[in-house]
A = this chain, B = another copy of it.
Amino acid sequence: MTKQTLQVQGMSCNHCVNSIEGALQEIGAKGKVDLANNTVEISYDENMISFEAVKDAIEEQGYEVV
């Protein structure tokens, strides 16, 4: 299991939390958004999912991984 904390721009409300955490769940990763700190703590199995896929899932929701 890989754990990382990403800096993500553009998250502002609980809808954002749900869309990001939901998109990560859909690809089999786990995400925990911290709105106050503009971070997403991700955990995923690097044998199953690439970091690129995790990043893409977040960016497809309209946010920018810094």
Binding site for B on A (CB under 8 A): 10, 12-16, 19, 62
Using Cβ atoms and an 8 Å threshold, which residues of chain B touch A13?
Answer: 10, 12-13, 15-16
Q: How far is the CA of A15 from the CA of B12 in the complex (A)?
A: 10
- How many of these chains are in the complex? 2
Using Cβ atoms and an 8 Å threshold, which residues of chain B touch A12?
Answer: 12-13
In-complex Cβ contact of A16 among B10, B15, B62 (8 A)? B15
The 3 closest A-B pairs by CB, nearest first: A15-B15, A12-B12, A12-B13
* Nearest chain B CB to A63 CB, angstrom units: 10
Using Cβ atoms and an 8 Å threshold, which residues of chain B touch A14?
Answer: 62
Sampled A-B contacts (10; CB under 8 Å): A10-B13, A12-B12, A12-B13, A13-B13, A13-B15, A13-B16, A14-B62, A15-B15, A15-B16, A15-B19
